[in-house]
Amino acid sequence: MSRTSFEKVEALKNLKDGRRLVVMDRIPEPELMNGPEQALAYAQADFEQPHNQFVELFGKRFSDEKIDGYVLDLGCGPADVTIRFARAHPNCVIHGIDGAENMLKHGRDAIAKQGLEARISLYCGRLPDIDPPRSSYDIVLSNSLLHHLHDPMVLWDCVKSYAASKAIVFVMDLFRPAGQDEAKSLVEQYASDEPVMLKEDFFNSLCASFRIEEVDKQLQGASMERLSTEIVSDRHLIVYGRL
């Protein structure tokens, strides 16, 4: 775990005059986003910056590693991150899993347009009841799934279940701001031009996400302390390492 990241969070909890900030409690949101309009909105939304950041951060954190083999992408949605990862790492075969079939339909269309059908396959399944084609994977990825889960341990249990010995793990997600006013500011800063539905979803996702110290406790509970945690932006954290 990243002590530096934890200290950053602790610093954010204190005002300059020494008073403690009141950090809002988590407000869970629905686990699945499967409405046709919602799926279309996500497939058409501009996620280039955070999704490119996912791939770039993975590359930097594993710059000395040989990246190849079979990849499991948990909560792949419309597969935008999946496609970007496949382009960056041409020696990988990726199996993406998501519980929203409407999201996967857009993902399959995007994969076909990119000519990546031989390297990317998508499957419908809701954690923990998933049945991927392989029993173990060399790399396990997840982007923006953790905050959707009412029980976060479902994700970490699935990672352990399907990660091969010494597999690479890379998870990126939102972290919860101190309060709803801060969440609203982040929505206006990063999603001001998006449809109202996406703005509302982004706000709800920020309120449903976990603080980094909460993620650290989750990893301890899953006996995955070897993984590091790190804040990488004003709204994102990553979990990474080898099991």
What does the pLDDT look like over 4-63, one tens digit per residue?
343 444 444 443 344 445 679 999 987 766 577 777 776 777 678 999 999 999 999 999
Q: Which residue ranges make up each domain of the chain?
A: 3-73+135-242
Tokens for 72? 């499991």
Give the residue ranges of DSSP H helices in 114-195.
Answer: 153-162, 180-191
Q: What are phi and psi of 130, to 5 degrees?
A: -115, 155
| Residue 211 neighbours by CB distance under 10 Å | 18
Which of helix, strand or coil describes residue 87? helix
Strands 92-98, 137-143: parallel, antiparallel or unpaired by DSSP? unpaired
| Residue 171 neighbours by CB distance under 10 Å | 24
Q: What is the mean pLDDT of residues 115-124?
A: 98
| Residue 87 neighbours by CB distance under 10 Å | 12
Residue 241: which of 81, 26, 61 has the closest Cα? 61
What does the pLDDT look like over 65-90, one tens digit per residue?
999 999 999 999 999 999 999 999 99
Distance CA 228, CA 224 (A): 9
On the question of pLDDT at 203 being above 60, the answer is yes
CB 56 within 8 A of CB 49: no
Question: For position 16, what pLDDT does the model report?
Answer: 37
Q: Which residue has the tokens 């999603």?
A: 191
Distance CA 115, CA 13 (A): 47
Amino acid at 68: D
On the question of pLDDT at 235 being above 70, the answer is yes
Distance CA 51, CA 139 (A): 18
Distance CA 12, CA 16 (A): 10
